[in-house]
A and B are shown apart, each in its own frame.
Chain A
Amino acid sequence: MRVLIVGAGFAGVAAALAARRAGAAVTMAQSRPGASSLYAGVVDGELGPAQASGLEELGRALGLRLSAGTVVATREGVVRSAAGSDSALLELGALAGRRIALVDVARDDWDGPLLVRSFAASAWARASGTRFELVPLELLEKGHQRRVSSYDFASGFERAERPAWLCELLKAHTGPDAWLFGPWLGVGRDLARELTASVGVPVGEVTSPPGGVAGARFDLRSAALLRALQVGFAPAPAFRVAPGAAGVRLELTDGTTLAGDALVLACGGFVSGALELRGALSGAEPAGLELAIAGLPPAVARGELATSVSSMFGVDLAAHGRRLLERVGLPVAADGGVVGAPRVFAAGDVLAPEASSVGHALESGLRAGARAAAAR
């Protein structure tokens, strides 16, 4: 049994895990980073009990804390609940009623004095009696660190002597029950966990910006997981899916073709990294937005969109509302199978009602992977 997977985001990785666990061989086609590589570190969506073992394994491998009652703080000064998060994010739920130190650093993208006010004024903090206080720390080694990306700033803390130095710095401040950092606690190295152990109180982050550390951690950890699962990789990005009665062919941009028994389409929605979304402005294409997939029912893939594009200019969101952006999906049966293509299963944003719902990607990915491995 050979399963082809298009896309290596949360949904594709979940599908790969499920297909491998069901005994199938897996080949994955991917190209550019998509929405998963840019996510904020927060898992939204409902995670049901149906695939608990798969979710648990995924969570462990990808460094996710999957728990419905998760409470995290965001870069925009909001305290919010989630279905889970990158485990480097500070879990506030267990800290209700305590004193949380917000680290202040004179970085351009960080306005500590206003963030602490905003956290303190949040409904959660007021209801739980949790206090936030601002603690300035001299974390900038050089002036330019004020403006480097948060990713670069975070990776600077991984250097050999820095974690121990940071630990001493935090220990010197007695009082706080937890430390809340910006998205700076390492990329490859799990500094949040190391510091939590060495300082003796929880140390964690707020959410990441697009291109920040949470997405980078996903990239590193998902690559390691796929290696461990012995997933093969296609030599070039995919651009066309051709399902037949006996199997599925996947055409690649280098002119070669891959054959498989079933396929999981987890290429992302609007922010697709794996398949080309063609738009009217990019060339002589007639329609505004089309999933470039032959063999799937194109009238339906296009259907909803066909009415909303002009001959020249693409999606008219004024007329059709911004929700249209999130409805580029395919028609899919309740089991995740694509209507009209018996060996193709969809997962993740390509069929999501809303972009970047990580929980939905994980669940639908596990389901599609299992179904594909069992396709007859």
Chain B
Amino acid sequence: MDSPPPAAQERDPRGQQLERDVIVIGGGVNGVGVLRDATLRGFSVSLFERNDLAFGASGNSSGMIHGGPRYLSYDPDVTYSSCLDSGHIQRIAPHLLFRIPFLMPVFEASRLKATAMLAAYDGFFTLYDKYQPLKSGKPHTRLSAQDVQSLEPGLVPSQGGVSFDEWGIDGVRLCVANARDALERGAEVRVHTTVLEVLRREDGSAYGVRYRDRQTGEVGVRTARLVINATGAWAPLTASLSGLKPEAARVRPGKGIHVFLDRRVTNYAIVAKAIDGRQVFLMPWQNLSVLGTTDDDYYGDLDQVVATGDEVRYLFQAVERVFPSIRGARAIGTWGGVRPTIFGWGQNEDQLSREHEILDHQTDGADGLFSMVGGKLASYRLFAEEMTDVIAKRLGRGTPCQSHLLALPGGDESIDPMRLVLEGGMEAVTATRLEYRHGSRSLAILERMRKNPREAAVVCACEPVTVAEVRYVVEQELATSVEDVSRRTRLGLGACGGMRCAVRCGRIVADATGQSPERGMAMALGFLDKAARRRSAAIGPGQARAEVMALASLRAELGPAADEPAPALRSEPGEPA
């Protein structure tokens, strides 16, 4: 299998030349990682994503490319590769990273125990410090009880603690940047396009896919030399679409949810212990605070992952013990995803390996088909490199990997947000958030505002997001609906739950995609419906009261349902395949 494929493998069963070198199924971080790497190495690649880029675990992770100190004791290789690749990501997308300093306070029943625990932490993080230079992290600090108290006065009195250093990232932006780069280098990316079947020759070898565009209903065939299943938790389903047993690409799906607050309530991320002994956290992230995370076996619908009330309470209960004022905080939403953890039986979710694996389905009789299972956001690039190495070997060509050397779109140059303020007429916070998401590409958005100053208008005041950015992500980043725009910009995820901006955003998206105003309204209502379902498990009375008001206002704007044939609250953007 190391030699170039025989001539017969260069054609489909009807004798036609194959259209692509590689087809990637799945638009999560592993999929777009392979898409970009393989494109950079000179392969022609098509990617098919059933929902949207970063729809699953990649866009719903804890939003860190952390080094995984948690894995240091039983999976040090994961820690090493995570730290190394975290450093690489920092170099190719510096605009997407932000430092999250962590605080690990000690709470023990006796002073003796506390001293022992503190010494243990100190030793452990001294070991972790050896990995920190790989990702430009700062070494840990041992802190006295007073230090901890002065750093985070909201903590209950501790017996000291340690600080350590991690990097935060917006996983969606990372995926979009990879896809955008590949697009600009000639790759094909089809979002909202589900793969109906992986096509195989009589000898079992894979030669392409049959797909269906969920928005237009178009059905088509794309052929390729190799097919990569990078569908995360969906991997077993994709295997069965290939005529294999689902077990051929088995994962152990682990649901993890996060709750976010309407503002940052701490400067440090705080590690707390949950009732079952698991470590959870309360961390500042972008302009929010986030509580996370759970890890539970998941048996539900992968397209409809929503946090439940008990998961929310589990996190609050844990954080409340060390940070009591969290009870007064206003939770405004949740996100949840399902990890595609490598399968293992009889272990606790937390004990499962965070390693990744490439499965060559030649062993299942499907030559040319591979599955990527496991992995972490922090080491996606490495996983993609390993996969692309296999591709290059199989196809017998390709240039060396450069995905750690070439900047992702927006990461090539640092832009001063003040420039956007002065030249685009934006407010400082708008400019800062815009520059975070788009890096140097924010200049393209600035250019739109120069041409039409009204595009500087803020659509979503919570984040904030401008008209120009909404139009940009529709035209340049494959967004086709309000939900897609929200995923890329965080529009509509603030305290008003999108009730003040979704309908306007729908009008803009409809206009930018040549659709009717009614379609824009339907998109907005679909988004609001989904956003409400995601939020409702977490909101308390204060937020509920505000939402009743926003809802009443929205009702007044939309009028009684009988007036117009109401756009059905169907799942957007398309019907399930």
Point out residues on A near B: beta carbons under 8 Å.
35, 38-42, 44, 74-82, 106-109, 111, 114-115, 117-118, 121-124, 147, 207, 209-210, 269-272, 277-282, 288-289, 310, 312-319, 322, 325-326, 354-356
* A77-B540 contact, Cβ under 8 Å, with A325-B547, A325-B548: no
In the complex, the answer to whether B507 meets A77 with C-beta atoms within 8 Å is yes
Q: Smallest distance from the beta carbon of A45 to chain B beta carbons, Å?
A: 10
- Among candidates A40, A77, A282, A289, residue contacting B556 with C-beta atoms closer than 8 Å: A40
Sampled A-B contacts (9; CB under 8 Å)? A74-B556, A76-B558, A81-B560, A108-B458, A109-B457, A118-B507, A270-B548, A317-B537, A355-B552
B454 in the interface (beta carbon within 8 A): yes
Known interface pairs A74-B557, A77-B507, A209-B553; 13 further A-B residue pairs with C-beta atoms within 8 A, sorted by A's residue number: A77-B517, A77-B521, A109-B457, A210-B553, A277-B541, A315-B541, A316-B309, A316-B536, A316-B537, A318-B309, A355-B551, A355-B552, A356-B552
In the complex, the answer to whether A38 meets B549 with C-beta atoms within 8 Å is yes
Q: Give the contacts of B292-334 with A (CB-CB under 8 A).
A: 306, 308-309, 312-313, 316-317, 320, 327-329
* A277-B539 contact, Cβ under 8 Å, with A76-B558, A77-B503: no
* A123-B457 contact, Cβ under 8 Å, with A312-B313, A318-B533: no
**In whole angstroms, how far apart are the Cα atoms of A356 and B547 in the complex?**
12
- In order of increasing CB-CB distance, the 6 nearest A-B pairs are A80-B559, A279-B541, A356-B552, A317-B536, A40-B556, A108-B457
Q: Which chain B residue lies CB-closest to A209?
A: B553
**In whole angstroms, how far apart are the Cα atoms of A277 and B456 in the complex?**
40
**In whole angstroms, how far apart are the Cα atoms of A269 and B552 in the complex?**
12
In the complex, the answer to whether A271 meets B549 with C-beta atoms within 8 Å is yes
Q: Smallest distance from the beta carbon of A280 to chain B beta carbons, Å?
A: 7
* Neighbouring A residues of B521 by C-beta, 8 Å: 77-78
In the complex, the answer to whether B557 meets A40 with C-beta atoms within 8 Å is yes
* A271-B518 contact, Cβ under 8 Å, with A77-B503, A122-B564: no
* Neighbouring A residues of B537 by C-beta, 8 Å: 316-318
C-beta contact mask, B417-454 vs A, less than 8 Å → 1, else 0?
Answer: 00000000001000000000000000000000000011
* A111-B457 contact, Cβ under 8 Å, with A322-B532, A355-B552: yes
In the complex, the answer to whether B544 meets A315 with C-beta atoms within 8 Å is yes
In the complex, the answer to whether B545 meets A271 with C-beta atoms within 8 Å is yes
Q: Smallest distance from the beta carbon of A103 to chain B beta carbons, Å?
A: 15
In the complex, the answer to whether A35 meets B540 with C-beta atoms within 8 Å is no
- Among candidates B456, B533, B540, B560, residue contacting A279 with C-beta atoms closer than 8 Å: B540
* A314-B544 contact, Cβ under 8 Å, with A77-B507, A117-B517, A355-B552: yes
* Neighbouring A residues of B532 by C-beta, 8 Å: 322
In the complex, the answer to whether A271 meets B541 with C-beta atoms within 8 Å is no
In the complex, the answer to whether A207 meets B536 with C-beta atoms within 8 Å is no
In the complex, the answer to whether B551 meets A121 with C-beta atoms within 8 Å is no
* A123-B313 contact, Cβ under 8 Å, with A114-B511, A316-B537: no
In the complex, the answer to whether B511 meets A117 with C-beta atoms within 8 Å is yes
- Among candidates B504, B542, B544, B555, residue contacting A317 with C-beta atoms closer than 8 Å: B544
* Neighbouring A residues of B399 by C-beta, 8 Å: none
In the complex, the answer to whether B316 meets A210 with C-beta atoms within 8 Å is no
Q: Smallest distance from the beta carbon of A370 to chain B beta carbons, Å?
A: 26
Q: Give the contacts of B501-559 with A (CB-CB under 8 A).
A: 503-504, 507-508, 511, 516-518, 520-521, 532-533, 536-537, 539-542, 544-545, 547-559
* Neighbouring B residues of A81 by C-beta, 8 Å: 559-560, 563
Q: Smallest distance from the beta carbon of A365 to chain B beta carbons, Å?
A: 17
Kindly name the residue among A39, A269, A356 whose own CB sees the greatest number of chain B CB atoms within 10 A.
A356
In the complex, the answer to whether B548 meets A313 with C-beta atoms within 8 Å is no
* Neighbouring B residues of A75 by C-beta, 8 Å: 557
- Among candidates B533, B548, B557, residue contacting A271 with C-beta atoms closer than 8 Å: B548
**In whole angstroms, how far apart are the Cα atoms of A40 and B499 in the complex?**
14
* Neighbouring A residues of B517 by C-beta, 8 Å: 77, 114, 117-118, 121
In the complex, the answer to whether B545 meets A277 with C-beta atoms within 8 Å is yes
* Neighbouring A residues of B518 by C-beta, 8 Å: 121
In the complex, the answer to whether B548 meets A111 with C-beta atoms within 8 Å is no
* Neighbouring B residues of A281 by C-beta, 8 Å: 327-329, 540-542
* Neighbouring B residues of A77 by C-beta, 8 Å: 503, 507, 517, 521
**In whole angstroms, how far apart are the Cα atoms of A210 and B539 in the complex?**
21
B467 in the interface (beta carbon within 8 A): yes
- Among candidates B504, B540, B548, residue contacting A269 with C-beta atoms closer than 8 Å: B548
In the complex, the answer to whether B560 meets A40 with C-beta atoms within 8 Å is no
B277 in the interface (beta carbon within 8 A): no
In the complex, the answer to whether A78 meets B558 with C-beta atoms within 8 Å is yes
- Among candidates A79, A80, A326, residue contacting B560 with C-beta atoms closer than 8 Å: A80
In the complex, the answer to whether A80 meets B563 with C-beta atoms within 8 Å is yes
B565 in the interface (beta carbon within 8 A): yes
Q: Smallest distance from the beta carbon of A216 to chain B beta carbons, Å?
A: 15
Q: Smallest distance from the beta carbon of A343 to chain B beta carbons, Å?
A: 28
In the complex, the answer to whether A42 meets B556 with C-beta atoms within 8 Å is yes
**In whole angstroms, how far apart are the Cα atoms of A180 and B521 in the complex?**
21
* Neighbouring B residues of A280 by C-beta, 8 Å: 540-541
* Neighbouring B residues of A121 by C-beta, 8 Å: 516-518
- Among candidates A40, A282, A322, residue contacting B541 with C-beta atoms closer than 8 Å: A282
In the complex, the answer to whether B457 meets A356 with C-beta atoms within 8 Å is no
**In whole angstroms, how far apart are the Cα atoms of A315 and B454 in the complex?**
41
Q: Which chain B residue lies CB-closest to A34?
A: B549
Q: Smallest distance from the beta carbon of A78 to chain B beta carbons, Å?
A: 5
* Neighbouring B residues of A111 by C-beta, 8 Å: 454, 457, 467, 504, 507-508
**In whole angstroms, how far apart are the Cα atoms of A165 and B467 in the complex?**
31
In the complex, the answer to whether B540 meets A313 with C-beta atoms within 8 Å is yes
* Neighbouring B residues of A74 by C-beta, 8 Å: 556-559
Q: Smallest distance from the beta carbon of A75 to chain B beta carbons, Å?
A: 6
Q: Which chain B residue lies CB-closest to A215?
A: B553
**In whole angstroms, how far apart are the Cα atoms of A74 and B518 in the complex?**
15
* A106-B542 contact, Cβ under 8 Å, with A210-B550, A281-B328: no
In the complex, the answer to whether A318 meets B555 with C-beta atoms within 8 Å is no
* Neighbouring A residues of B565 by C-beta, 8 Å: 123
In the complex, the answer to whether B544 meets A270 with C-beta atoms within 8 Å is yes
- Among candidates B458, B516, B556, residue contacting A39 with C-beta atoms closer than 8 Å: B556
In the complex, the answer to whether B453 meets A106 with C-beta atoms within 8 Å is yes
**In whole angstroms, how far apart are the Cα atoms of A207 and B516 in the complex?**
22
Q: Smallest distance from the beta carbon of A26 to chain B beta carbons, Å?
A: 27
